[in-house]
Structure 1
């Protein structure tokens, strides 16, 4: 029996719903996310994300069947004409297979549980570039960060460009969008030290002994951290730059700081 449900019309209601998932408003309304390609589908499966639909391009049906044969999920599979598939895909060169999944949701309690245990958090203030945020998410997971706090003005983590840059990490790494005026006090109340950066800090990042429970606060690509959050910062550090450049990309900064934090933890892990 053919498992594929054909869609051949632009007026199809299911197709209209998938197109709405291209916007933040649509994703929020349906609590769903459309992901593309074999790699992201595989990562979502490994993360235990709930699948709602699978979508294949009729022109790549044979390849899609090979991929689908290894998937344990039993959900509706829709077959679209190449032009219809391209209309829901957001990549320039679609791979011919996509899926609609349930958006991961985490709570404050999940991020702050085990308050007697060492933990590293990353707090982001108005990171606007999707590629930067995706890279930061991927790096944070690799470095063992327990959770991300995304302040106002930060790009939607389920933006398609963020999803692709994160390479599956956002299915696993807990994150929460919250006004940092609320998030930073919560972190401090749970025994987390807030570490900021400044070119005038006077202490290099490798000289600073990160406390057992630390959060690195990083700001907007252009203006840095909003001065309104300065009172929450417990310590400031700087990354030495003996060359002529004045600053580093925020995703590079996150990697440098998180891996120094990890280096200090490593003998005790």
Structure 2
């Protein structure tokens, strides 16, 4: 299929997916760029259409997937378009030559309770798409159970967040839920809920992360909200030898996740 007009109804629908309201209503989002599209296809993520620049052609990295998807139970559309269509549907300053129209996965937060030795990142009010994307990448890197996103956090399907996950969002459950309901339930099932605090008595290096653990990380400026903090079992501090006042939330999360991985797999 080829689409050349930016006024085409399909193009208008894709362009609207830059708005969170439409993403929520349609249950779809955009993944931009060769790497993300390739990772989505490789991971078996729910890809609906692959849209590419007709002048530049389908990127070589994706050609092997055309035949594979023709015989799948849910065939993927491969659609050639003009550069103008690509620019209308994406928000990167220098658009790449391909994007995928993705269906939001049917994930349930119940999946986070199924792991025997859970390691879950709980995100409470993080606003920067780059920070959320990096948190998801780090959770993927250490083999975490998943990421739970609370209300007030930037949309995981925001195009900037999607790009910054570098495909990690296709590798593990990333689910949304009410933290004030889910944290108490996790605690009832034996999970230790942990956050960071500059006043904490325990260093992250003396805390036992081998037990089922949910980390709570908070807003860049305000930290974890008081309501969520009241549900935390333990607070830990990340020691610093230098003069930095604090760590970026994504960096702090990465430090904690890697210490958990070290204790669990590299003792």
Task: Normalising by structure 1, report the TM-score.
Answer: 0.92
Question: Paired residue for 1:86?
Answer: 87
Match of 1:39 in 2: 35
Structure 1: which 5+ residue stretches go unaligned? none
Q: 1:50 aligned to 2:49?
A: no
Matched, 1:70 2:64: yes
- Structure 2 partner of 1:186: 185
**Structure 1 outlier segments of 4+, above 4 Å:** none
* Most deviating of 27-36 and 16-25: 27-36
Map of 1:11 onto structure 2 = 7
Residue 28 of structure 1 is matched in structure 2 by 24
Q: Deviations over 1:159-211 (max 9, x none)?
A: 11111110111112112211211121121122110011110112211011224
Secondary structure, counterpart of 2:215 in structure 1: strand
Q: Deviations over 1:9-61 (max 9, x none)?
A: 22211001100111111112221121122211111112111221121112212
Secondary structure of 1:208's match? coil
Match of 2:101 in 1: 100
Deviation at 1:105? 2.7
Q: CA–CA distance in 1 between the matches of 2:233 and 2:210?
A: 11
Contact 2:126 2:218 in 1 (8 A): yes
Relative to 1, partners in 2 of residues 1:65 and 1:250: Cα closer, same or farther, differing over 3 Å? closer
Instruction: Give the conservation status (yes or no) of the 8 Å contact 1:149–1:183.
Output: no
Higher alpha-carbon deviation: 252-261 or 82-91: 82-91
TM-aligned CA deviation for residue 267 of structure 1: 4.2
Separation in structure 1 between the aligned mates of residue 203 and residue 77 of structure 2, nearest angstrom: 54
Encode CA deviations 1:54-73: one digit per residue, 9 max, x unaligned.
Answer: 21112212xx1634421122
Report if the CA contact (8 A) 1:120-1:213 is conserved: yes
Matches within 5 A, 1:165-176: 165-176=164-175
2:38–2:61 CA contact under 8 A, matched in 1: no
TM-score, normalised by the number of residues in structure 2: 0.92
Confirm or deny: 8 A CA contact 1:195 1:217 kept in the other structure.
yes
Looking at structure 1, the residues matched to 80 and 88 of structure 2 have their Cα atoms a distance apart, in angstroms, of 13
Counterpart Cα distance in 2 of 1:159 and 1:65: 24
1:68–1:251 CA distance, 2 compared to 1 (3 A): closer
CA distance in 2, matches of 1:267, 1:215: 20
* 2:145 maps to 1:146: yes
1:122 positional shift: 0.8
Inter-partner Cα distance in structure 2 for 1:88 and 1:130: 19
Name the CA distance, whole Å, in 1 between partners of 2:181 and 2:13. 34
> 5+ unaligned residues in a row in structure 2: which ranges?
71-75
